[in-house]
Amino acid sequence: MSNQHEDQARASIENAKSLVIDSIAETMDLYGVTRSAGNLYGTMYFEEDMTLDEMREKLGMSKPSMSTGVKKLQDYNIVKQTFRKGTRRQTFVAEKDFFQFFANFFSKMWIREAKINLGAIHKAQQELNELIEDPEVDEVLKNEAVLIDRQMEASKPYYHWLQKLVSSIESGEIFDVLPIEDEEK
């Protein structure tokens, strides 16, 4: 059975994991993922597939919290539902390859960013152009509108570049350019 050494050793292992789980949660926090979702991800990172009840137990939180937490992580594309045979419960597994994490997470963000902003720019430019083409409008104002229109236009290449960046991540092309190195000496 358990002796003192064993208990202590087990505590050490848990502590080591906690250090990394906390830092994962902290960095995810940087990107706007709530601490508790980050904590859940970090926990799942060290586990195989988990049921909601297993998460609840590990984190000492309620089941609805786990349910919503997992959903959030699924939205970020970094947790997936799995099928564990023999149980009727849903099981979930965290993406453990951080390169894949990076790809899934940031691709999602950047695609969204491009879409939202290009959409807004489109609408804004429509409004500005109506004004620019209106012969009734004062020259000074027209000029102002033209400048703003240009500023918006000038930002478009950025969003297109983001889209290209995502493509190159999704195709894996980026890793030809910036290769993953096995280990630094």
Interface contacts to DNA, rule CB under 7 A: 34-36, 51-53, 60-65, 67-71, 87-90
DSSP 8-state code for residue 78: S
SS3 141: helix
Segment interacting with a second copy, rule: CB under 8 A, options 47-55, 58-66, 85-93, 173-181:
173-181
Chain centre distance of CA 5: 40
182 binds, among DNA, a second copy, none (CB under 5 to 8 A by kind): a second copy
**Toward a second copy, which CB reaches closer, 63 or 112?**
112
Q: Which residues pair with 80 in a beta bridge?
A: 93
**Toward a second copy, which CB reaches closer, 53 or 127?**
127
Binding residues among 93-152 for a second copy as defined by CB under 8 A? 96, 98-99, 102, 109, 112-113, 116-117, 119-121, 123-125, 127-128, 130-131, 134, 136-138, 141, 144-145, 148, 151-152
Q: Which residues contact 11 (CB under 8 A, 6 or more apart)?
A: none
DSSP per position, 24-73: HHHHHHHTT--HHHHHHHHHHHTSSSEEHHHHHHHHT--HHHHHHHHHHH
161 binds, among DNA, a second copy, none (CB under 5 to 8 A by kind): a second copy
DSSP 8-state code for residue 180: P
Q: How far apart are the first and last CA of the chain?
A: 43
SS3 174: helix
Starting from the edge strand earliest in sequence, which strands make up the sheet with 91-94, in order? 50-51, 91-94, 79-82
Binding residues among 11-40 for a second copy as defined by CB under 8 A? 12-13, 15-17, 19-20, 22-24, 26-27, 29-33
Q: Which residues pair with 93 in a beta bridge?
A: 80
**Toward DNA, which CB reaches closer, 18 or 51?**
51
| Closest CB 105 distance from DNA, rounded Å | 17
**CA 178, CA 167: separation in Å to the nearest integer?**
15
- What residues line the site for a second copy (CB under 8 A)? 5-6, 9-10, 12-13, 15-17, 19-20, 22-24, 26-27, 29-33, 46, 96, 98-99, 102, 109, 112-113, 116-117, 119-121, 123-125, 127-128, 130-131, 134, 136-138, 141, 144-145, 148, 151-152, 155-158, 160-162, 164-165, 168, 174, 177-178, 180-184
